[in-house]
Structure formats: structure tokens, C-alpha cells
Amino acid sequence: MTKNKDQREIVSPITLYKEPELRNPCMITAWPGMGNVALKAATYMREKLRAEELGIINPAGFFQSNIVYIRNNLIEPIKLPENKFYYKKNEGAENDIIFFIGDAQPLSGREYEFADMVLDVAERFKVKMVYSFAAFAIDTHYKEKPKVWGVATSKELLGKLENNNVLSMNDGHVGGMNGVILGVAKEKGIEGICLLGEMPYYATQIENPRSSQVILEVFAKIIGIKIDMTELEVLARYTESEIEKFFLKIEDLKLDQMLERGGNKSPGYIH
């Protein structure tokens, strides 16, 4: 809480519940995006590592709602997206971890300010490295194991990515907060890496746990931790089977339409 020249109190949107002593922490940031790849990866890791709540960012002013929900004939209070910090002390690893997980992208035009606030917390805990995750939509088969691509804020970090079989992206962009956060981090002198998991361009509206899984496998190697992937593997196989069923259904519909058109042809049709 601070005061301006008129001595009016200005309340920070950031609330920290505690200030643990963390050892060389890195920060993981994630928001929803294509295939829910980034958010799924970060949320799954947070749950598996049993990270503890650290704080929140008040959503007022950064998000809006144009709908209210009704339950049992009564209007529910408006609920804006949650924006939470978590932390995990990693015994035996070089880095403790701070997570920031946002349920939604902030309003257009407020992205820079929001990223700046997230990184204020990073600076408070002397974070030197920020990671974000994202999806990379390409022309690939849904059963093909995704590759992981990477971008970084310095050439030195590109070598670390190459050592972990991460492909380099020479040109392009990372949309949304999963990209913006690293641009703002670079301005603040904080190093950053974005890991992007491949996914089919025709299935960007479907959650892709396989892409989240390959990202986490690489991330775990980079910082030297273990993450139990069992549940994510099961979910990935289920999702792939559902996609396969969908395509089989489409093929059946196409065949039915062809047969229907064939059955309606005039008697004089020659084939």
C-alpha cells in the first residue's frame, strides 16, 4: 500500500499470503491458449509437485464479465478469473519454483501492465529465470509424437535448449501472455525461455495433453526434477482415441453421403 501526492491510499492488486525463503527460484507462468497446452502443463505440474499457495493478483480492472449465472432461481455473484501464485521447495534440485497460473488472458491493452505485476513478484523473490509454455500448431498427424520447440531471451540459453533436443525457432511469434511475459522479462533483465509443444493445426480447439506432456518432459530435464506423468499419459491416450473416433465418424458420414447420392442417380446414368 502506497500514497500519492494527495495522500490517497493506493492498494496494490498483489496479495502475498506468505514470504517463504526460496533457493534460487525460477518462475513458471501459464495462461490459456491453443489446445490448453500451457495451462494444462503448468497446472498438472503444480498439482503433482503439491505446490503451496503463495498469493493472488486481484482481477478487478484486468478482466470483465458480461454474463451472470443463475442457480436455484437466484443470481450468482459475478466471478472473475483467478490469478494465483504458488511455490514449491525442491529438495535436492538446484531451483525452487514459483508458479503463476492465470485462468484467462487479461483485457486487450492491459497485457503489459499485467505481465509487469507478475514479474514484480519474480523480482521480489530474486527470480533470475522465467519459463512459459505454449502450443505450436503445425500440419501433423494427431498420433505423431510432438516435438518441442524453444525460444529464449539470450543466445546462451539457446545452447541449453539444444542440449535438451529442443528445436530452435528462427522467426515467428508467441501470441498472448505466454509470449508477452518473456518480452517484459527481457526488459527487466530477467532471463526467459518459452517451450512450445507441437500440435495439429486442425485440433487447436481440443485440449492436447500429449503436447503438454512433452513440454513437461523437457522442462523436468532442464531443471533436474521428476514429475509423475502417469495421469497425463492416460489422458493423452484417451484424447487421441476420441480424436480417432471423430475422424472415423466423419469417414462414415462421407461414405453414407456418397451412397445416398449414388442411390438417387437417374436410371440412364452410365458408370
Report the C-alpha gap between 262 and 127 in whole angstroms: 67
- Cβ-contact 214, 146 below 8 angstroms: yes
pLDDT at residue number 247: 78
Backbone angles phi, psi at 261, to 5 degrees: -65, -40
Alpha-carbon separation of residue 96 from 86, 90, 93 (angstroms): 11, 5, 7
Dihedral of the CA atoms 199, 104, 225, 88 (nearest 10)?
-170
**pLDDT below 70 — which residues of the chain?**
1-10, 251-271
The answer to whether residue 58 sits within a structural domain is yes
pLDDT of 259: 56
Q: What was the pLDDT predicted at 183? A: 97
**Which residue type, as a one-letter code, is found at position 14?**
I
Look at residue 269 and tell me if it is in a domain.
Answer: no
* pLDDT (0 to 100) of residue 4: 52
Residue 256 lies in a domain: no
Burial of 136 (0-12, 13-18, 19+ CB in 10 A): buried
Count of domains forming the chain: 1
142 assigned to some structural domain:
yes
Assigned domain for 212 exists: yes
**Distance, CA of 22 to CA of 155 (rounded, Å):** 27
Q: What is the pLDDT of residue 141?
A: 84
CATH number of the domain within which 137 lies: 3.40.50.10900
Q: Which long-range contacts (CB under 8 A, 24 or more apart) does 216-220 make?
A: 216/41, 216/44, 216/45, 218/148, 218/164, 218/165, 218/166, 219/41, 219/45, 219/131, 219/133, 219/195
Whether 93 is in a domain gets the answer yes
Residue numbers of the domain that contains 108: 8-228
- Note whether residue 171 is domain-resident: yes
Residue 248 has what pLDDT? 81
